[in-house]
């Protein structure tokens, strides 16, 4: 097994996750099998109880692991399925060591950070790196490890020590350290400054880790004299210093690394030069160029609780992007704060109220994502009501599906008190109830989590057609509350259709409104399995319906005719036939226009 460690210096948010994923893509394109591990030095055992404002979205894996959003990044880039153990945290390591101590596994020894914690970290890495994640048998060839945080952080110290020992243990030729650092440009001086990177590398060396490669983040390509200065003072060969400058979109980064011969340098450090072939990145290049050449917009409103931080809905955003590229449309996202749609806001902040409704009324489609807590729920209900009454394409995910059911019960069944017991425990008409597959008192890891089977009960439904008329689908879940089975019959008589249910038939998985052009809610999270070139069917349906192209997407032949395949080919780009290019969509925020850059995650 070969290991590539990606660390970061100077500041956080440099794009270590994108760099690690892009290295994985490059090595995979060379014919190697790749797996990934993310190390998060925080004390939480997992990301499940973290606020999205603190750490961005919680990504859910097939096995129910609630993990850092970077693992979603790895899955999307490398098209693999990771496990909860691929996300290592300080909490997990200490929990593991303390459990062993309580069992008496250390035979009375004093349990210390060195060697017990550091040994546990190394053993965890070796064990998880050997787990196949690409559907094939046997371990991968290369494991890409990302160390979260910044070199010098106190909480990272045990991991730095463990990785230093690990590099010595596996030996030269099996370990490659890539250090991502910042080379800023001061506006007053106008030149690229190397001192921050010099200090970062000095700190890294002082902790026992010697970088093989420098990946330098900057606004533009590094000047040759700057690279020479870094090589001299950081003791890294000139050819091992790469520039990761701001790109139009993150799908350009694997090609950017290839153009600088990163694959040759990494294979040389890992003694793989004799078996590595020239990387084939035609698919990535064509996809990046395609996005850059899309001009016909499709405007989607995301009505949520955490709209001030787009990372809170990262997988949602990427799934929308994958679908819009598949439909050859330029994605424009309007972030609508759900609470700004509510009547209370009209009284307290009329300008915000008017702005929110103006955004909602100007879109082609509406998406209401999941969430927890009652803040903004009434606004989400109003958004579902608007989409239903105005025949605007609507997709509700998790809580988004639940508010659509509540709104239907209130407006169509005239049950004005209809609600979820999560928000109003004493409601007379509980449309959404707590379903016993978790705990009411403990929050961490107690929900209905991971991949579960949803069986289609309505064969000619839009969702069944979008999924290719399959009998069932496996999608990932993360929730505690579900549609009340006792109200299903009454809701169906009024016009709702529960198109898919779980294996018991008691849990409603997909709801549709057949009389509406596109009104679908899913209890699961389809965004977690969306991939570049393999868009989630429900997101594809939303985008297609918003463009007036739903019927063509539901046609079984659509996938062969329109979805991106490996390598370039002639495709329709906004109605014109041309060689398949590739590029990433623009995302419009409430405060203006934002280009997806290296700091983003696919």
CATH of 294-563, one of 3.40.640.10, 3.40.50.880, 1.10.10.60, 3.40.50.1370: 3.40.50.880
User: Do residues 40 and 155 touch, judged by C-beta distance below 8 A?
Assistant: no
User: Do residues 400 and 461 touch, judged by C-beta distance below 8 A?
Assistant: no
Return the closest-CA partner of residue 283 out of 593, 566, 87, 495. Answer: 566
Q: Which H or E run contains 129?
A: helix 118-129
pLDDT (mean) for 145-168: 95
Strands 497-501 and 481-483, by their bridges, are unpaired
pLDDT in tens, 451-466: 999 999 998 999 999 9
Distances (CA, A) of 440 to 286, 430, 444: 49, 17, 11
Show the DSSP H helices in 413-528 as ranges: 462-466, 488-493
CA pair distance 224, 206, nearest whole angstrom: 27
* DSSP line for 56-112: -PPEE-TT--EE-HHHHHHHHHHT----GGGEEEHHHHHHHHHHHHHHTTTTTPPP-
Q: pLDDT-derived band of residue 446, with 50, 70 and 90 as boundaries?
A: low
Is 525 catalytic? The answer is yes
Exactly one of 378, 527, 549, 562 is catalytic; name it.
527
Domain spans in the chain, listed from the N-terminal domain onward: 2-288, 294-563
pLDDT of residue 590: 37
Is 516 catalytic? The answer is no
pLDDT (mean) for 110-129: 97
Same-fold call for 2-288 versus 294-563: yes
Is 327 catalytic? The answer is no
Counting residues of the chain whose pLDDT is more than 90, the rounded percentage is: 80
pLDDT at residue 139 is higher than 60: yes
Q: Rounded to 5 degrees, what are φ and ψ at 55?
A: -140, 15
Exactly one of 234, 327, 339, 398 is catalytic; name it.
398
pLDDT (mean) for 579-596: 35
pLDDT at residue 593 is higher than 80: no
pLDDT (mean) for 323-339: 96
User: Do residues 525 and 316 touch, judged by C-beta distance below 8 A?
Assistant: no
| Residue 44: Cβ within 10 Å count | 17
pLDDT at residue 339 is higher than 70: yes
pLDDT at residue 598 is higher than 70: no
Rg (CA), the chain: 25
Q: pLDDT-derived band of residue 132, with 50, 70 and 90 as boundaries?
A: very high
CA pair distance 487, 430, nearest whole angstrom: 8
Q: What does the mean pLDDT of the chain come to?
A: 89
pLDDT at residue 356 is higher than 60: yes
CATH topology of domain 2-288: Rossmann fold (3.40.50)
Encoding tokens for residue 259?
Answer: 């153009």
pLDDT in tens, 248-277: 888 999 999 999 999 999 999 999 987 778
Specify burial of residue 599 (Cβ count, 10 A radius: 0-12, 13-18, 19+).
middle
pLDDT of residue 595: 29
Least confident of 12-16, 221-225, 426-430: 12-16
What's the predicted TM-score (pTM) here?
0.90
Return the closest-CA partner of residue 420 out of 442, 437, 435. Answer: 435
Exactly one of 479, 525, 547, 549 is catalytic; name it.
525
pLDDT in tens, 407-436: 999 999 999 999 999 999 999 999 999 986
pLDDT at residue 500 is higher than 80: yes
Strand ranges (E), 206-257: 213-218, 241-245
Least confident of 287-291, 301-305, 361-365, 497-501: 287-291
pLDDT of residue 216: 96
> Diameter of the chain by CA atoms?
76
CA pair distance 57, 75, nearest whole angstrom: 15
């Amino acid at each position: 097994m070969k290991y590539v460690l990606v660390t970061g210096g100077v500041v956080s948010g440099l794009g270590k996750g994108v760099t690690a994923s892009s290295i994985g893509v490059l090595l995979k394109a060379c014919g190697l099998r790749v797996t990934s591990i993310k190390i998060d030095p925080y004390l939480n055992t997992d990301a499940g109880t973290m606020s999205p404002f603190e750490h961005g979205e919680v990504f859910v894996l097939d096995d129910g692991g609630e993990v850092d959003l970077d693992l979603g990044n790895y899955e999307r880039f490398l098209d693999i399925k990771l496990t909860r153990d691929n996300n290592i945290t300080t909490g997990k390591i200490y929990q593991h060591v303390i459990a062993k101590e309580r069992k008496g596994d250390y035979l009375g020894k004093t349990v210390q950070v060195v060697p017990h914690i550091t040994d546990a970290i190394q053993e965890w890495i070796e064990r998880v790196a050997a787990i196949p994640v690409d559907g094939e048998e046997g371990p991968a060839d290369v494991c890409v490890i990302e160390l979260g945080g910044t070199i010098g952080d106190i909480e990272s110290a045990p991991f730095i020590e463990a990785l230093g020992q690990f590099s010595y243990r596996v030996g030269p030729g099996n370990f490659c350290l890539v250090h991502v650092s910042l080379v800023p440009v001061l506006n007053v001086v106008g030149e690229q400054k190397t001192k921050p990177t010099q200090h970062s590398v000095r700190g890294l060396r002082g902790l026992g880790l010697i970088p093989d490669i420098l990946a330098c983040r900057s606004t533009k390509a590094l000047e040759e004299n700057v690279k020479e200065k870094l090589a001299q003072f950081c003791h890294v060969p000139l050819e091992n210093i790469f520039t990761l400058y701001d790109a139009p979109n993150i799908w350009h980064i694997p090609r950017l690394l290839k153009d600088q011969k990163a694959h040759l340098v990494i294979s040389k450090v890992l003694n793989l030069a004799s078996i590595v072939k020239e990387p084939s990145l035609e698919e990535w290049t064509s996809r990046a160029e395609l996005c850059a050449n899309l001009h016909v917009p499709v405007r989607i409103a995301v009505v949520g609780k955490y709209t001030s931080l787009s990372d809170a809905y990262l997988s949602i955003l990427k799934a929308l992007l994958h679908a819009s590229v598949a439909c050859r449309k330029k994605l424009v996202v309007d972030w609508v704060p759900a609470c700004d749609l509510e009547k209370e806001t009209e009284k307290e902040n009329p300008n915000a109220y008017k702005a929110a409704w103006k955004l909602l009324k100007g879109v082609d489609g509406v998406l209401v994502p999941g969430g927890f807590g009652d803040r903004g729920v009434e606004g989400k209900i109003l958004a579902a009501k608007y989409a239903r009454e105005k025949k605007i394409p609507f997709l509700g995910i998790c809580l988004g599906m639940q508010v659509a059911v509540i709104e239907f019960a209130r407006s169509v069944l005239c049950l004005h008190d209809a609600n979820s017991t999560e928000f109003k425990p004493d409601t007379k008409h509980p449309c959404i109830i707590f379903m016993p597959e978790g705990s009411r008192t403990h929050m961490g890891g107690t929900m209905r989590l991971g991949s579960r089977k949803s069986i289609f009960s309505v064969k000619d439904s839009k969702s069944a057609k979008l999924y290719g008329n399959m009998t069932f689908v496996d999608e990932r879940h993360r929730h505690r509350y579900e549609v009340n089975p006792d109200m299903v019959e009454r809701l169906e008589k009024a016009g709702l259709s529960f198109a898919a249910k779980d294996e018991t038939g008691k849990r409603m998985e997909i709801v549709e409104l057949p009389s509406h052009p596109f009104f679908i809610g899913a209890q699961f999270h389809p965004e977690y399995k969306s991939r570049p070139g393999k868009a989630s069917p429900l997101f594809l349906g939303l985008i297609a319906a918003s463009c007036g192209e739903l019927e063509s997407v539901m046609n079984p032949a659509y996938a062969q005719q329109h979805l991106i395949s490996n390598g370039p080919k002639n495709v329709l780009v906004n109605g014109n036939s041309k060689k398949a290019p590739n590029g990433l969509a623009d995302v419009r925020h409430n405060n203006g226009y934002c280009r997806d850059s290296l700091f983003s995650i696919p």
